[in-house]
Structures are given as structure tokens and as C-alpha cells.
């Protein structure tokens, strides 16, 4: 069983890799090719500077439809003292020009056609204003007015674009304007992507337990292509040492870099490190970075030279970040461009985040502007949670030696979205409901992003009090009155003016497997020895509802097997039941339907939106209120099981400080 050779800092790993690449003469542009401009696609990198072969324009050109003149001949022209200029072909004082026409050698200015009075030879208005015998002007012009002089845009011999420049659409026009018909660009590196694993199956395959869809190569290929390289995806290779070696050797014949995906850890079928040792030189096995810990860096023998290989961890998030961390810089050197850098912003963390002290920790966050502050909320950190990269607005990198950050602490965010998108982001922190996803979809059509963090009803109200959200979903039952949310507003938001808006009435009940094999019909069944329950987290309205009704029945909550096992969403509870981890859980019928479970209805509750007054009247949330009264949105919610939208949009209360 293999072990990590070293678990070294990221900076040291990069240096070892760079030193080996330099020694192999692989830390520079790989080559170049000359292409016709029509084939010089966007994103290609100039291998040579572009110097202008000719000026643009290459003559003095009229910038307007009008009449060429010598500016000196217009001196003294005034509204009360006009000047006449002749178009006589022998000794012209003026000549008509269309935009772009060459300026006559004797002229040095153009008068726009709308500023002249075209006259015939008798001094009457000319029938054709572009072919008069003479013109009358009532204002003087200065030399070179309304003229594009030779070289106004480009002067022959000047630098148009430097080597290393990444081509954009208008760059092609500038290159053509400067007299070129072709351009020399860096050769695109070819990057082999080799997925390995007996458990992998191709996209579209029928899945059985133990199968894992192979989509890492799809993601990595898109990453590599966006960096300017040419990805080459190879078929899945099973966990067999000789087969993997053969595949790597095949890849070296036509590619400049090999990305060997999975098998980089220390398990009995993790062959990647041994493959690299066998076919070349193993430089690094294990880097102090999270996620992406078991990275392999090495060099492979290829003829009389060597090419690099990177052993990429198998978990999707680790794989994607490994490519960003190690491959982007390498491809940049091979293309002769500057490595890409994400723009940065200062943000404030919404909650405490811990970090392993010995690693560089890449924390994925969602971000949005709430009031005057740009806030960042950490999202799911599992290395296998590919959706965390989909949802992420950016990365907060916590360096080695830092064990985390406190709530409210300022950190640097490396943006994966534009600041303009963040300014249109609505932060919703609180209770989970699947219709928030429906709301997010409809808001996207109105130019807004809805970012949800599921922390429970109580957690959402606390977030509002701290100024960390624009709105919160809440369904906190008051055991004393049987009313929803009003008592909680007084408890958690004293002095904070808010608007309490009814969203939906919804059913809550027990989610159970299809056909309810254990015959679970009520809360009393939860204390049976053969029933395992899955709960919601402390502070969730669903848990408050459960505890309330258990109290009415005289059932001690801790007598439920699984009462302390928690999930943060209704879908999380449904997944636990669907997977057999639990026999039942309290939740909403839409979540049960999503995972093909049966549902035992028990209660009807009101689910509200809590919105601070300072945001309720603003432009950002205006589409939210429009949707609450939109029949099409109501109908889309009503199609889901267990919802009543008749109360949607009603203002339940408005509190004052």
C-alpha cells in the first residue's frame, strides 16, 4: 500500500515542478504557427508582435459628407457676411466629398453638407445639393476640421499588438487595417485527459449501485480549452496498473501534458504514483492544499526528452481546483501569455469558518451586497460536491497557519462572477423550501439572482438582525398562541423594522419509503424500536413544529431513535430516507415527490417571508413583490403538491422600532 512521499506546501510543490520543467526545456512557449486572419480564432495568443505595415487611413480622408475647402478661404464668414465658394473645375475653391473620400491636395478641411447653402450658377438653391455650382457658408472653419488625417488610427511601423496578447474580435480588424493578411500565434498545447477507475461509467449509462458517472474529464477538458489549450479526452481505463501505464504511454506520443485523473491517493488500487515512477520521475505526491490534497506532480520520459504529468484527485471539486492551481500557469507559459488572475474584492464572512492549520484552504462562497457591505457565505465544502462550484461566486483562500476566520471578519474574495452580477444578488438566509428554487428561476428572468443559505428559521432571523440578508423564510410556531413568526420577530429582531409577508400555506408530514413498508402513520409510531427517524437541525421551524406536537402527545423527543441525526433541508431529509439511512423524516410533500417517496400528511402551517423595511421598498426586491402577485408564478407553485397560494403576498404585519 502506497503512502504519500511528502505533504509539502503549495509554494514548494510549484517550485519543484517548475524546476523540473525548466530542466526539460518545458517552461517556455512550445512553438508557433502562422494563420490567415480568417482562421485566427479568438483566444489565440500572439507569438510575435504585430507591427504596422501601412498607415490607416493611408491618405487624408473626409470624415463627413460635405465640401472640401482651404480653411484660410473661409476666414471672415459670418451669418451677416457669408462667403461664396466656387466648384469651378479649372480653379475649384471647394469640391463635394462623401465620407471616406480622399481630400484633394489643395484642401485642408471639410464643411459638413448641412452647414452649407448649395447654389446654382444663378445664385438660387441648387436642385442637387451634392452637385451645386457654388456654395455659400456663414461660418469659418479651422484647418483639418472634419478630416481623418493620414495615420489617424495607425501609423506605419508602429506597434499594433505585443507578443503574448490574447486575440479579441476587434484585434483582428486592427491587424488587417495595419496591412497584414496573416498572424503568427502560439501553438496550442495538447493536453491528454485520462480518467481511471473500475467504478466509472460513461455519461448516459444505466447506473447501478457502485457506479460513478465519469464527468471529470468533461469538466477538465472545458477548463483546458478555456485556457487556450487543446484537450484530448481518452476513454475510461480500469484500475489495472499495466493498462494505465499503456494508456499514459499512448498519451505521451501526441500530447504535451498528461492529466491522470483519480488513483492519486494511497489506497490499494491507487496506481497513479507508481505509474509516474515507472514511466518517469515522481516529483511530488501530496500537497498541503484543500481540497486537492493528494496531487501528484511528475515528469514522463518521451523519446530523448520529458513531458509533465499531473495526477489529479478523483473528487470533482478537487479535480477542478487542481487544474486551476497547477495547469493554468503552465499553459500560460507555453502560450507566452500572462497567467489569468481572478479579480478580488474585500468581503465580510457571514459565519465562522474553520480551516486546517497546515493547508492552503480554498473556501467556496456565495456573495452579495447587503446594504453597504459585500458579504460572503461559505457553501458546502465536500470535495465531491460539484454543485458547490456551480453555485460559488468566488474563492476565499485561507493560507497555511490560519485556522479559520470569525463571522464578520474581512477577507479577500477571488471573484468568479462579475461585480455587476453580485449587485443584483438577493441574499435569502433562513428556512428551506423547494419553492425558493422556483422563485430563483423566475427572478433570473427579471435580472436578479436569488442566493439561498439554509440555516433554519431562527438562524435566518439572526442573520437579518446582523444585516447579513435581504430576506428570510420562516415558519416558527409559537406554542403559546399557535401563531406563526410574530412572537419570533419580537424575540430575534427587537428594534429592527420588518415586513412579514405570507408566502404559502403548506403541508408538513412524514416522508417514508414507497408503499410505507413499516406502516408509519403518526408521530406515535416514531417511538417504535424498529423505526429510525432523521431530524432537522436546531432552530429549524420544522424541528420546532415536531417538538411542539411531541409535547402535546407527551412524547420525550430523545426517545425517538435518530432524533439527534440532523439534515439542513427538506431534500436532505428526503435523501436520507430514500437511501435507507432512515425510515422516515418530517418534511414537505414536494421533497417527498422529488425523491419518489410516499408522504403521510400531518399538519398545515404558514411559511412567511421576513423582509427588513429598509429593503422592502428598494429596486432590488421589487421583482420579488411582483412575482408574489403574478398569477403565472402562483400557478407554478400550486402545481407542486402540498401548497396553498391563496394567501401569497398578503402583509401579515409591519413592525416598527
pLDDT, tens only, 441-494: 999 999 999 988 888 899 999 999 999 999 999 999 998 888 999 999 999 999
Q: Report CA torsion sign: 104, 107, 109, 115.
A: negative
State residue 216 phi and psi, 5-degree precision.
-60, -40
The C-alpha atoms of residue 394 and residue 506 are separated, in whole angstroms, by: 35
Residues of the chain with CATH 3.90.105.10: 32-57+152-186
The C-alpha atoms of residue 407 and residue 411 are separated, in whole angstroms, by: 11
pLDDT, one tens digit per residue, over 230-287 is 999 999 999 999 999 999 999 999 999 999 998 776 665 678 999 999 999 999 999 9
Full-model pTM? 0.82
**Whose grid coordinates read 512521499?**
5
DSSP 389-421: HHH-SEEEEE-TT--EE-TT-EEEEEESS-HHH
Are 19 and 156 a contacting pair, CB within 8 Å? no
**Whose grid coordinates read 473500475?**
198
The C-alpha atoms of residue 654 and residue 657 are separated, in whole angstroms, by: 10
H-only helix segments in 478-621: 486-492, 541-553, 570-578, 589-594, 613-616
The C-alpha atoms of residue 618 and residue 230 are separated, in whole angstroms, by: 47
Q: For residue 7, what pLDDT is reported?
A: 79
Q: Into which CATH architecture does domain 10-28+189-335 fall? A: 3-Layer(aba) Sandwich (3.40)
The C-alpha atoms of residue 360 and residue 654 are separated, in whole angstroms, by: 46
State residue 122 phi and psi, 5-degree precision.
-90, 0
Are 259 and 191 a contacting pair, CB within 8 Å? yes
Are 324 and 414 a contacting pair, CB within 8 Å? no
Q: In DSSP terms, which residues pair with 653 in a beta bridge?
A: 500
The C-alpha atoms of residue 477 and residue 483 are separated, in whole angstroms, by: 6
Q: Is 430 left (phi over 0), alpha (psi -120 to 50) or beta?
A: left
CB atoms within 10 A of CB 609: 29
CA distances from 631 to 616, 627, 636, 645 (A): 21, 8, 9, 10
The C-alpha atoms of residue 440 and residue 166 are separated, in whole angstroms, by: 36
Q: Which helix (H) or strand (E) holds 191?
A: strand 190-195
Q: For residue 5, what pLDDT is reported?
A: 56
User: Class of the 61-148 domain?
Assistant: mainly beta
The C-alpha atoms of residue 226 and residue 166 are separated, in whole angstroms, by: 12
Residues of the chain with CATH 3.40.190.290: 454-654
CATH topology of domain 344-423: Beta-clip (2.40.340)
The C-alpha atoms of residue 311 and residue 294 are separated, in whole angstroms, by: 8
Q: For residue 482, what pLDDT is reported?
A: 87
Q: For residue 267, what pLDDT is reported?
A: 60
Give me the residues of the chain with pLDDT under 70, please.
1-6, 265-269, 382-385, 657
**Whose grid coordinates read 465658394?**
85
Domain 454-654 CATH (choose: 3.40.50.300, 3.40.640.10, 3.40.50.720, 3.40.190.290): 3.40.190.290
Residues of the chain with CATH 2.40.340.10: 344-423
> Can you list the pairs that 633-641 forms with residues at least 24 positions away whose Cβ atoms lie under 8 Å?
633/438, 633/439, 633/442, 636/438, 636/442, 637/435, 637/438, 637/504, 640/434, 640/435, 640/438, 640/589, 640/590, 640/593, 641/507, 641/589, 641/590, 641/593, 641/599
The C-alpha atoms of residue 198 and residue 492 are separated, in whole angstroms, by: 53
Q: For residue 2, what pLDDT is reported?
A: 44
Q: For residue 1, what pLDDT is reported?
A: 39
The C-alpha atoms of residue 222 and residue 230 are separated, in whole angstroms, by: 9
Q: For residue 3, what pLDDT is reported?
A: 45
Range 32-57+152-186 has CATH code 3.90.105.10: yes
Burial class for 26, CB neighbours closer than 10 Å (0-12, 13-18, 19+): buried
Q: Is 245 left (phi over 0), alpha (psi -120 to 50) or beta?
A: alpha
Residues of the chain with CATH 3.40.980.10: 10-28+189-335
Parallel, antiparallel, or unpaired: how do β-strands 305-312 and 394-398 relate? unpaired
State residue 342 phi and psi, 5-degree precision.
-75, 140
Parallel, antiparallel, or unpaired: how do β-strands 498-512 and 651-654 relate? antiparallel
Residues of the chain with CATH 2.170.190.11: 61-148
The C-alpha atoms of residue 472 and residue 428 are separated, in whole angstroms, by: 5
Q: Quick check: helix, strand or coil at residue 311?
A: strand
Are 397 and 341 a contacting pair, CB within 8 Å? no
Q: For residue 31, what pLDDT is reported?
A: 94
Rounded (to 5) percent helix, strand, coil in the chain: 25, 30, 45
The C-alpha atoms of residue 525 and residue 162 are separated, in whole angstroms, by: 75
Q: Which helix (H) or strand (E) holds 508?
A: strand 498-512
C-alpha neighbours within 13 Å on the C-beta side of residue 154: 24
Q: For residue 383, what pLDDT is reported?
A: 61
Q: All 3 cell numbers of residue 154?
A: 495607425
The C-alpha atoms of residue 206 and residue 213 are separated, in whole angstroms, by: 10
Amino acid at each position: 500500500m502506497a503512502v504519500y512521499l511528502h505533504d509539502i506546501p503549495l509554494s514548494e510543490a510549484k517550485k519543484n515542478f517548475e524546476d523540473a520543467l525548466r530542466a526539460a526545456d518545458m517552461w517556455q512557449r512550445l512553438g508557433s504557427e502562422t494563420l490567415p486572419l480568417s482562421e485566427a480564432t479568438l483566444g489565440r495568443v500572439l507569438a510575435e508582435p504585430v507591427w504596422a505595415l501601412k498607415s490607416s487611413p493611408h491618405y487624408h480622408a473626409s470624415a463627413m459628407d460635405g465640401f472640401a475647402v482651404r480653411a484660410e478661404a473661409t476666414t471672415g464668414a459670418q451669418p451677416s457676411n457669408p462667403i461664396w465658394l466656387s466648384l469651378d473645375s479649372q480653379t475649384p475653391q471647394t469640391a463635394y466629398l462623401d465620407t471616406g473620400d480622399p481630400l484633394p491636395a489643395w484642401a485642408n478641411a471639410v464643411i459638413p453638407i448641412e452647414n452649407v447653402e448649395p447654389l446654382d450658377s444663378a445664385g438660387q438653391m441648387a436642385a442637387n445639393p451634392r452637385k451645386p455650382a457654388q456654395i455659400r457658408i456663414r461660418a469659418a472653419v479651422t484647418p483639418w476640421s472634419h478630416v481623418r488625417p493620414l495615420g489617424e488610427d495607425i501609423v506605419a511601423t508602429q506597434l499594433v499588438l505585443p507578443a503574448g496578447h490574447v486575440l479579441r474580435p476587434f484585434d483582428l480588424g486592427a491587424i488587417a487595417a495595419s496591412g497584414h493578411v496573416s498572424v503568427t500565434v502560439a501553438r496550442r498545447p495538447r493536453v491528454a485527459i485520462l480518467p481511471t477507475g473500475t467504478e466509472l461509467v460513461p455519461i448516459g449509462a444505466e447506473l447501478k449501485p457502485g457506479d460513478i458517472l465519469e464527468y471529470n474529464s468533461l469538466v477538465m477538458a472545458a477548463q483546458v480549452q478555456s485556457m487556450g489549450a487543446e484537450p484530448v479526452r481518452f476513454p475510461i481505463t480500469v484500475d489495472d496498473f499495466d493498462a494505465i501505464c499503456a494508456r499514459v504511454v499512448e498519451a505521451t506520443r501526441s500530447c504535451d501534458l498528461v492529466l491522470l485523473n483519480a488513483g492519486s491517493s494511497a489506497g490499494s488500487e491507487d496506481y497513479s504514483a507508481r505509474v509516474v515512477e515507472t514511466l518517469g520521475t515522481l516529483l511530488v505526491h501530496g500537497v498541503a492544499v484543500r481540497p486537492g490534497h493528494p496531487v501528484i506532480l511528475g515528469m514522463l520520459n518521451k523519446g530523448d526528452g520529458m513531458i509533465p504529468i499531473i495526477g489529479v484527485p478523483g473528487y470533482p471539486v478537487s479535480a477542478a481546483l487542481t487544474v486551476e492551481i497547477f495547469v493554468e500557469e503552465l499553459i500560460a507559459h507555453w502560450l507566452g501569455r500572462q497567467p489569468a488572475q481572478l479579480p478580488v474584492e474585500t468581503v465580510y464572512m457571514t459565519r465562522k469558518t474553520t480551516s486546517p492549520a497546515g493547508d492552503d484552504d480554498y473556501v467556496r462562497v456565495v456573495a452579495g451586497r447587503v446594504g453597504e457591505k459585500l458579504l460572503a457565505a461559505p457553501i458546502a465544502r465536500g470535495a465531491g460536491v460539484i454543485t458547490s462550484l456551480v453555485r460559488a461566486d468566488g474563492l476565499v483562500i485561507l493560507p497555511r497557519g490560519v485556522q479559520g476566520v470569525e463571522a464578520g471578519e474581512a477577507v479577500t474574495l477571488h471573484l468568479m462572477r462579475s461585480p455587476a452580477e453580485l449587485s443584483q444578488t438577493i441574499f435569502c438566509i433562513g428556512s428551506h423550501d423547494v419553492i425558493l428554487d422556483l422563485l430563483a428561476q423566475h427572478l433570473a428572468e427579471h435580472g436578479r439572482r436569488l442566493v439561498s443559505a439554509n440555516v433554519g428559521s431562527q438562524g435566518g432571523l439572526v442573520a437579518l438582525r446582523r444585516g447579513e440578508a435581504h430576506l428570510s423564510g420562516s415558519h416558527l410556531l409559537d406554542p403559546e398562541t399557535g401563531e406563526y413568526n410574530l412572537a419570533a420577530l419580537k424575540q430575534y429582531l427587537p428594534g429592527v423594522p420588518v415586513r412579514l409577508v405570507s408566502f404559502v400555506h403548506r403541508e408538513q408530514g412524514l416522508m417514508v419509503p414507497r408503499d410505507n413498508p413499516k406502516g408509519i402513520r403518526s408521530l406515535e409510531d416514531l417511538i417504535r424500536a424498529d423505526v429510525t427517524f432523521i431530524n432537522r437541525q436546531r432552530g429549524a421551524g420544522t424541528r420546532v413544529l415536531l417538538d411542539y406536537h411531541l409535547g402535546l402527545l407527551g412524547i420525550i423527543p430523545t426517545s425517538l431513535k435518530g432524533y439527534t441525526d440532523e439534515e439542513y433541508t427538506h431534500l436532505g431529509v428526503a435523501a436520507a430516507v430514500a437511501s435507507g439511512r432512515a425510515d422516515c423524516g418530517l418534511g414537505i410533500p414536494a421533497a417527498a415527490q422529488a425523491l419518489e417517496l410516499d408522504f403521510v400528511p400531518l399538519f398545515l402551517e404558514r411559511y412567511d417571508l421576513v423582509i427588513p423595511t429598509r429593503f422592502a421598498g428598494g429596486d432590488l426586491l421589487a421583482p420579488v413583490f411582483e412575482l408574489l402577485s403574478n398569477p403565472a408564478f402562483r400557478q407554478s407553485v400550486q402545481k407542486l403538491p402540498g401548497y396553498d397560494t391563496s394567501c401569497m403576498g398578503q402583509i401579515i404585519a409591519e413592525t416598527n422600532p
